[in-house]
Amino acid sequence: AGVAGDLPIFVYAGSQGQFPLDAALVKRLREWCPAIAGIKSAGFDPVVANGLLIHHPDLAHFVHEQVLCGLVAMGASGCFSALVGLCPALVMKWHGMIERGEWEEAFAIQRRVNRFYDEGVQPVRRAGYVVDKALSELGGVPGATRKLRAPYAPLPDELREILRTAADRHLPEYREK
């Protein structure tokens, strides 16, 4: 904490984390490191997410895309998007709807995103592959390739096809360049 000084720090608790990042733990962390400015957590546990938002409203809260609309409506700041590598225009449109409070339209996209994650991303994640890299490569991000640095392995063709099929079904905008 002393080394960081006034440097804003974001605490990251990914979906594969081994311990929950709840409001009580964040309070203890902030006692040791007052420079904590925000949290990136999956937000999949609604009780824990609610506690973080209620007890630490002064922090920036970033959650997973699968719970984005609901938790932004409750006070979360947004998300660090893996989906933006697949279809940036859709993500920007979606975030604009959320910012403007166009909830019906935003939740319609949320449901499509959730179906895509369920059908396409979960098999990739369960098999232990890097999701954001796979989405960027499928989305045609300049410089994105199927070759990854060690220790990560490239996505096998059969999982790439599952991901592509789910994207075609639920997020066809990704093909628009």
Task: Give the tens place of pLDDT for each residue, 72-116.
Answer: 999 999 998 899 999 999 999 999 999 999 999 999 999 999 999
pLDDT-derived band of residue 15, with 50, 70 and 90 as boundaries? low
pLDDT tens-place string over residues 18-70? 677 899 999 999 999 899 999 998 778 888 899 999 999 999 999 999 999 99
pLDDT, average across residues 126-135? 89
pLDDT at 173: 92
The alpha carbon of 101 is separated from its chain's Cα centroid by a whole number of angstroms, namely 20
Of 99 and 144, more confident: 99
Q: Is the pLDDT score of 167 beyond 90?
A: yes
> Between 112 and 132, where is the model more confident?
112
Q: Which two tokens stand for residue 73?
A: 């409506």
Q: How confident is the model at residue 17 (pLDDT cuts 50, 70, 90)?
A: low
* CA 141, 112, 158, 173 torsion-angle sign: negative
pLDDT of residue 20: 74
What's residue 44's pLDDT? 82
**Of 99, 1, 50, 82, residue with least CA distance to 11:** 1
- Who wins on pLDDT, 144 or 1? 144
pLDDT score, position 150: 77
Query: What pLDDT sits at residue 91?
Result: 95
- Residue from 73, 26, 16, 28 nearest 48 by CA: 26
Q: How far is CA 88 from CA 26, 68, 102, in A?
A: 32, 16, 19
* 134 or 18, higher pLDDT: 134
Residue 18: its pLDDT value, please? 60
